Amino acid sequence: MNSTQIAEAAADTADPRAGLRAVTSLRALADALELRQVEAALRAGMTWQQIADALGVSRQAVHKKYSKRIDPSIVVPRRAS
Amino acid sequence: MNRVSRIIATSYDLTVAASEEASRFGVRDIEVEHVLLALVLDDGPAGRALRSTGITLHAARKAVADQQREQLAALGINTELPGDGRIRPAFQSGHEWTDRATKLLSDSGSHGRKGGTEAVLRAALVERSGTIEDLLRRLGTTPGEIASRLDDAPDDPSSGPSADGRLSRTRTVFVPAPVDAVWDLVADPEQLPEWDMNLARVRAEHHAWIGETRTAAPDGKRLKVRPDTVRQAISRTIADEPRHVTWEMSYPDAPRANRRRIAIDIAPAPGGSHVTVRFAWVRGPGPAGLRRLVSPLTRFLARPVVRIALWVQVTALTSAISRTLRDG
């Protein structure tokens, strides 16, 4: 499915109740993918600041959201300050 | 148990099971569908009502996955959540309840409801987004049918007084596995470290089993362990296949220390088994010398801490047995 088709399906407003519920699944998917990428970034040695820059949010925001959610076996480098 | 402590115990149990089920889908936020999965595992009237309609954990997990896949497909996205289907234990505090999942908990304790899993299920049955209703229909039932089964259910037999002393605590959980599968897990010395988080490993030595106390948490943090309690002598004092096993762990390098005793009863239940774990500290000779004189006083002062510690121990054991049998 190309991006135009996605936009068409997402814009289908025939059943708004079902459409709204579907959007919550989309959020869950986005969150799950974000978590995976953050874990992969930390495993690859990226810092919280680099991850925050790539996501376009503050370091504090990304640290607050993910510091306790990530796989506990990941060794997170301490901030060099 | 009063209403507040019932609500706290309920939210703890549901958080552990719901976060573990959420982790299979690669998500950390506990949503209403994960609460439903946790309720399917409940040992009280809520779980019995759900399972009495033939709902299994396997079917409920599939309904959740189907629902998510179809909803994403409706938006033109043909993929699934990225979880690998394996449970990540809820050792860490990184799980949060979404607003609508939190509402199920808060509703369960308000409007004259008495808290507990039954009240959470009743709140879930009228959950406004329609997610739970849709899942129940996928599972061949309706909120109305579940509600009437709850109404017809007899009072919870497990709420009677337990026979626990000051140094023991008993807990019963439902696990979605047959009696033999539970037995194979809990009666095997080599599998002890899978569900007794106190043990890092177990090895056979001269017709006996020697365990090594865990000195690091799963997240790598060092645990405070007395050097003379690292080595544990493990014996299976009762083995009545496939219904009962009793384990005793003593510390050969600290002969005056208390021993640990874990007694497990397994009983068949519709859709799985009831597993009753009784955790106890068996008093050793106690301290020698001057400390012996003050030990009655320290024992008295430590009572509230001991009660909580026993609850933590027995809950950790039942959660881990349940998790191990649900994983994979």
Full pLDDT tens readout for chain B, 328 residues: 667 777 777 888 898 999 999 999 988 889 999 999 999 999 999 999 999 999 999 999 999 999 999 999 988 888 888 888 888 876 556 778 899 999 998 888 776 677 789 999 999 999 998 999 999 999 999 999 999 999 987 766 554 446 677 789 999 999 999 999 999 999 999 999 999 989 999 999 887 899 999 988 766 778 888 889 999 999 999 999 999 999 999 999 998 888 999 999 999 999 999 999 999 999 877 777 777 777 778 778 888 888 888 988 999 999 999 999 998 6
B64: amino acid identity, one letter: V
B80: amino acid identity, one letter: E
Topology (CATH level 3) of domain B161-326:
Alpha-D-Glucose-1,6-Bisphosphate; Chain A, domain 4 (3.30.530)
Q: Cβ B76–A71 below 8 Å, yes or no?
A: no
pLDDT of residue B143: 97
Residue boundaries of the structural domains of chain A: 3-66
C-alpha dihedral, B198 to B201 to B204 to B210, nearest 10°: -40
Residues from B contacting A (CB-CB < 8 Å) are: 25-29, 31, 67-68, 71-72, 74-79, 81-83, 88, 91-95, 129-131, 134, 218-220
Residues of chain B with CATH 1.10.1780.10: 3-158
Collapse the DSSP code of B109 into the 3-class scheme (helix H, G, I; strand E, B; otherwise coil) and give the result: coil
Q: What is the DSSP string of chain A?
A: --HHHHHHHHT--SSHHHHHHHHHHHHHHHHHHHHHHHHHHHHTT--HHHHHHHHTS-HHHHHHHHTTTS-TTS-PPPP--
- B interface mutation test: which of A20, A24, A35 has the most B CBs within 10 A? A24
Residue with tokens 């004092």: B237
pLDDT of residue A10: 56
Chain B partners within 8 Å of A24 (Cβ): 31, 71, 129, 131
- What are the start-end ranges of the H helices in chain B? 3-24, 32-40, 45-52, 57-74, 99-108, 116-125, 131-138, 143-152, 179-186, 192-195, 290-326
Closest to B179 (Cα-Cα) out of B246, B251, B230, B243: B243
For A72, the closest of B68, B78, B92 (CB atoms) is B92
Are B219 and B92 contacting, i.e. CB atoms less than 8 angstroms apart?
A: yes
Whole-angstrom distance, CA of residue B33 vs CA of residue B39 = 10
**DSSP state for residue B191 in the 8-state scheme:** G
Distances from the Cα of B193 to the Cα of B64, B90, B155, B259, angstroms:
31, 17, 36, 17
pLDDT of residue B155: 65
Whole-angstrom distance, CA of residue B297 vs CA of residue A10 = 69
- What are the start-end ranges of the H helices in B228-289? none
- The count of other CB atoms within 10 Å of the CB of residue A78 is 7
pLDDT of residue B241: 92
Q: Cβ B76–A36 below 8 Å, yes or no?
A: no
Interface pTM, i.e. ipTM: 0.76
Closest to A55 (Cα-Cα) out of B76, A64, B219: A64
Measured in degrees and rounded to the nearest 5, phi and psi for residue B241 equal -60, 135
Chain A residue with minimum CA distance to B19: A69
C-alpha dihedral, B183 to B22 to A42 to A54, nearest 10°: 170
Chain B residue with minimum CA distance to A11: B75
For B75, the closest of A22, A31, A69 (CB atoms) is A22
Q: Cβ A26–B25 below 8 Å, yes or no?
A: no
Q: Cβ B219–A5 below 8 Å, yes or no?
A: no
pLDDT of residue A71: 83
Q: Cβ B75–A23 below 8 Å, yes or no?
A: yes
At B274, list the tokens: 């009831």
pLDDT of residue B76: 86
pLDDT of residue A81: 44
State pTM to two decimals.
0.87
The alpha carbon of A44 is separated from its chain's Cα centroid by a whole number of angstroms, namely: 17
Q: Cβ A10–B75 below 8 Å, yes or no?
A: yes
Q: Cβ B76–A9 below 8 Å, yes or no?
A: yes
* pLDDT tens-digit profile, chain A (81 residues): 455 555 555 566 777 888 888 888 899 999 999 999 999 999 999 999 999 999 999 999 999 999 888 887 888 766 554
Q: Cβ A18–B74 below 8 Å, yes or no?
A: yes
pLDDT of residue B213: 94
CA angle B316, B321, B326 (to 5 degrees): 125
Whole-angstrom distance, CA of residue A77 vs CA of residue A51 = 13
Classify B3-158 by CATH class: mainly alpha
